[in-house]
Amino acid sequence: MTARDPLIEAIARNPRPLVMMMIGLVGMPLSLWLFTPERAPAPPAPVPRVQETPPPARAPALAPTETVGPAGPPETPAASEPAKTIEQPVRQTPDTEDSDPSVPLTQAMPLAPDPAPPAGTPPDDALPVLVLPPTQTRYIAIIIDDIGYVDTLGARAIALPDDVTFAVLPHTPFGAELAESAHRNGKEVMLHAPMSNLANMPLGPGGLTPALSKEEFVKTLSLALEAVPNLKGINNHMGSELTTLESPMRWVMETLQGRDLYFVDSYTNAASVAGHIAREANIPTLTRNVFLDNVQTHEDIDREFQRLLQVAREKGFATGIGHPYEATLEYLEKAIPTLTRMNIELVPVSEMIRLQRSATDAL
């Protein structure tokens, strides 16, 4: 019997190690070849992250606006409006009607509106209710107060179209000049006579107060009338105190007698006796219906202007007062030319008084 190699016998009895070694010798080069970088499978593309944009900030809710009902007693600027200051003389928009004769014109002066009139019935010289055919022309008058301290806006006001009337403060830097300019342009001029108010705000040069004697009162008013050329009438600047006092208002009307001037009650107090006393003295008179610019925004001015037109449609006539604010002038520059197509005519105050008298006499 031939002897066998022990290694071969061992492999024959257990071939697994040899098989595993052969697989390893073949598999290692194969795996190195298969998984080189250029043959390796590309990794999955990363999922892009989406940057979340926060929602836009929500605007704060606006406070509800007050609903304006039917026109009641005419109103004046709210008493709660904070006081403001300007430097005099100024070349920017004036904020209110106040000035102080004791303060030099180069110093700052506090400004605040006259107190609002208390709730009450319309004044005793309210317009008569007329039954007019829809096709008949209605009439409005527009007065621009506070002319005199601001030359640029005063000139812009005078350039307004049609028959706007201008109320000029006495003894102001540009009052006489602007009154002359208005007259040359065919516009009607009034004295804007400063009268004492319940808030004790300063009045400016020519201020009329119950502290004056009758002689001082008449002299102060006469000098104010002489300071503004080409006058057709006067109205009160502030006056929530003085227009409620009979004696001073009688002195006003006595001063106007023989001067062929009318009186317009700006109606800054529902207790005003000015219109009643003017009629007693046979002074031509009317009462303001609407303040156009208590709030100086386009929306508020438009709302009050529409109220003015509504009063005119209902009663035939209406008178509004505005101021030489930039917002007011910008609005009126666009609104006045639209009146004709609404069958509404803008007339000077003297013509408005004549028309109202004729309508009242016809009742």
Q: How far apart are CA 111 and CA 99, in angstroms?
A: 7
67 belongs to a structural domain: no
Report residue 131: phi and psi, to 5°. Answer: -95, 100
Which range is least confidently modeled, 47-61, 117-131, 322-336?
47-61
Q: What is the percent of the chain with per-residue pLDDT over 90, rounded to a whole number?
A: 61
Say what the pLDDT of residue 186 is.
97
β-sheet bridge partners, residue 166: 144, 189
Residue 90: strand, helix, or coil: strand
Pick the closest to residue 312 from 334, 281, 338, 289 (CA basis). Answer: 289
116 belongs to a structural domain: no
Contact criterion met (CB below 8 Å) for 115 and 79? yes
343 belongs to a structural domain: yes
* Beta pairing, strands 84-87 & 108-111: antiparallel
Q: How far apart are CA 312 and CA 139, in angstroms?
A: 6
Query: E strand or H helix at 238, and its extent?
Result: strand 231-238
Pick the closest to residue 189 from 257, 143, 139 (CA basis). Answer: 143
313 belongs to a structural domain: yes
Q: Give me the number of domains the chain comprises.
A: 1
What domain range includes position 167?
A: 129-362
Contact criterion met (CB below 8 Å) for 91 and 152? yes
73, two tokens: 């007693």
Q: How far apart are CA 172 and CA 190, in angstroms?
A: 14
Is the confidence at residue 262, as pLDDT, over 70?
Answer: yes
**DSSP-assigned letter for residue 149:** S
228 belongs to a structural domain: yes
pLDDT band at 94 (very low <50, low <70, confident <90, very high): very low
Report residue 14: phi and psi, to 5°. Answer: -145, 85
319 belongs to a structural domain: yes
Is the confidence at residue 352, as pLDDT, over 60?
Answer: yes
pLDDT band at 359 (very low <50, low <70, confident <90, very high): confident
Classify residue 32 by burial, with Cβ atoms within 10 Å: 0-12, 13-18, 19+: exposed
Query: E strand or H helix at 99, and its extent?
Result: none
Exposure string for 140-163, b = 16+ CB within 10 A, e = fewer: bbbbbbbbbbbbebbbebbebebb
Pick the closest to residue 239 from 215, 214, 204 (CA basis). Answer: 204
292 belongs to a structural domain: yes
pLDDT band at 65 (very low <50, low <70, confident <90, very high): very low
Is the confidence at residue 156, as pLDDT, over 70?
Answer: yes
Is the confidence at residue 81, as pLDDT, over 60?
Answer: no
Q: What is the percent of the chain with per-residue pLDDT over 70, rounded to a whole number?
A: 63
Q: Would you say the pTM of this structure is higher than 0.75?
A: no
Is the confidence at residue 34, as pLDDT, over 60?
Answer: no
Sign of the Cα torsion 120, 125, 126, 128 reads positive
* Cα radius of gyration rounded to whole Å, the chain: 42
pLDDT band at 361 (very low <50, low <70, confident <90, very high): confident
β-sheet bridge partners, residue 322: 144
pLDDT band at 362 (very low <50, low <70, confident <90, very high): confident
Q: How far apart are CA 7 and CA 193, in angstroms?
A: 137
284 belongs to a structural domain: yes
Q: How far apart are CA 159 and CA 168, in angstroms?
A: 15
Q: How far apart are CA 309 and CA 321, in angstroms?
A: 13
- Read off the pLDDT of each residue in 85-92 and give the average, rounded to a whole number: 31
Say what the pLDDT of residue 294 is.
94
Q: How far apart are CA 245 and CA 264, in angstroms?
A: 16
CATH of the domain at 202: 3.20.20.370
pLDDT band at 33 (very low <50, low <70, confident <90, very high): low
19, two tokens: 């098989």
Is the confidence at residue 10, as pLDDT, over 50?
Answer: yes
Is the confidence at residue 66, as pLDDT, over 80?
Answer: no
Say what the pLDDT of residue 360 is.
82
Is the confidence at residue 275, as pLDDT, over 80?
Answer: yes
User: To the nearest 5 percent, what fractions of the chain are helix, strand and coil?
Assistant: 35, 15, 50
The identity of residue 299, as a single letter, is: E
Q: How far apart are CA 273 and CA 36, in angstroms?
A: 109
pLDDT tens column, 159-175: 999 999 999 999 999 99
197, two tokens: 């108010």
Q: How far apart are CA 20 and CA 25, in angstroms?
A: 9
Considering only residues 242 and 6, tell me which one the structure prediction assigns the higher pLDDT.
242
Which range is least confidently modeled, 29-33, 56-60, 277-281, 348-352?
56-60
